[in-house]
């Protein structure tokens, strides 16, 4: 792909400054309304609003710092539209403040350009000075001029930090299994990093590790447990979950990633170690978790 500058893809008529919308859904609907004033799209305006709202409820968006990137891709659509919304007041999404929304509509034939675009927006989100200039742009022309002055060309790379889930939770090694179970139940998630008293990552534990705490050690030598029809192992777990500690069942950290690692590296490790979640660690502190569903939802089915 030849070098292409991001500013050349922007249309001043698709940039809205000081929007009065108070939610991401409202911003996207206004940007969609704007699309239909200028372009023909492969579905009705009502259907597109329904579709994007469904995706937003499923958390199919990417938030990096205070920039939100959401998108729709269609079969047999040979164009790429970029709508940009800057709300007058900060909106909160998944406990993260958002001040700029990029909304992209494109076709599956533009896969390469789509990935380049995603990386470029990630770069913008990491440039604090540029973000502030964009947030306080006087109008659409000023917004585009600010992007153009930064000379952003579209590039291919994408980092783990761009896609990881930042709303992470972890458990202390001295917590009881009851506390761990309550955490799994509350968060509706089956994986948890384990930390010491200084919040340094020292291990990991899954909901399966928790359940297996009720099974005697010798059962791992059995080829089948089909002969046991009682709930004895689960009853044992209920009896010991207040006395056993997380450190009694946790495992050593099998693998980890840094926020600057490539997405391809995360896929390689998931396949190599046959796992679906990998902690993202910086200075021995947990700063995120990336899962295969993050990659699948935000890139493959983005």
248-259 residue pLDDT tens: 999 999 899 999
Domain with CATH 3.40.930.10 in the chain: 6-155
Please give the residue that has the higher pLDDT: either 157 or 129: 129
DSSP string spanning 118-161? HHHHHHHHT-HHHHHHHHT-SSHHHHHHHHHHHTPBP----BHH
The predicted-structure confidence for 150-188, as pLDDT tens digits, reads as follows: 866 655 556 888 788 888 899 999 999 999 999 999 988
Cβ atoms within 10 Å, residue 242: 10
Q: Is the pLDDT of residue 275 over 70?
A: yes
Looking at the structure, give the CATH architecture of the domain made up of residues 171-300.
Roll (3.10)
Query: Distance between CA 26 and CA 127 in Å, rounded?
Result: 26
Q: Is the pLDDT of residue 219 over 60?
A: no
- CATH 3.10.580.10 in the chain is located at 171-300
Query: What is the reported pLDDT for 227?
Result: 52
pTM over the 0.75 mark: no
Query: What is the dihedral sign for C-alpha 25, 13, 67, 2?
Result: positive
- Is a pLDDT exceeding 50 seen at residue 61? yes
Superfamily of chain region 6-155 = Mannitol-specific EII; Chain A (3.40.930.10)
Give Cα 150 distance to the centre of its chain.
26
% of the chain at pLDDT higher than 90: 47
- What pLDDT is recorded for position 220? 54
């Amino acid at each position: 792909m030849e070098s292409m500058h991001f500013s050349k893809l922007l249309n001043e008529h698709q940039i809205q400054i000081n929007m009065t919308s108070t939610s991401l859904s409202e911003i996207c609907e206004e940007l969609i309304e704007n699309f239909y004033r200028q372009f023909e799209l492969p579905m009705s305006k009502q259907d597109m609003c329904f579709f994007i709202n469904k995706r937003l409820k499923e958390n199919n968006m990417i938030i990096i710092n205070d920039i939100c990137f959401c998108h729709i891709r269609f079969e047999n659509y040979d164009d790429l539209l970029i709508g940009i919304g800057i709300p007058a007041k900060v909106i909160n999404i998944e406990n993260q403040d958002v001040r700029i929304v990029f909304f992209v509509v494109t076709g599956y034939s533009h896969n390469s350009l789509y990935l380049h675009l995603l990386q470029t927006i990630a770069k913008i989100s990491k440039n604090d000075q540029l973000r502030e200039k964009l947030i306080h742009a006087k109008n659409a022309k000023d917004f585009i001029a600010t992007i153009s002055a930064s000379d952003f060309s579209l590039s291919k790379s994408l980092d783990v930090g761009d896609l990881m889930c930042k709303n992470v939770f972890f458990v202390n090694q001295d917590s009881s299994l009851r506390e761990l179970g309550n955490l799994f139940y509350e968060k509706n998630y089956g994986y948890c990093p384990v930390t010491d008293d200084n919040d340094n990552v020292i291990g990991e534990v899954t909901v399966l590790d928790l359940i297996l705490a009720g099974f005697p050690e010798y059962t791992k030598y059995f080829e089948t447990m089909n002969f046991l029809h009682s709930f004895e192992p689960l009853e044992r777990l209920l009896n010991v979950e207040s006395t056993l500690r997380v450190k009694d069942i946790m495992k050593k950290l099998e693998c980890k990633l840094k926020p600057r690692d490539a997405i391809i590296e995360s896929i390689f490790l998931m396949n190599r170690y046959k796992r679906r979640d990998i902690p993202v660690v910086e200075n021995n502190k947990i700063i995120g978790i990336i899962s295969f569903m993050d990659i699948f939802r935000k890139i493959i089915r983005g």
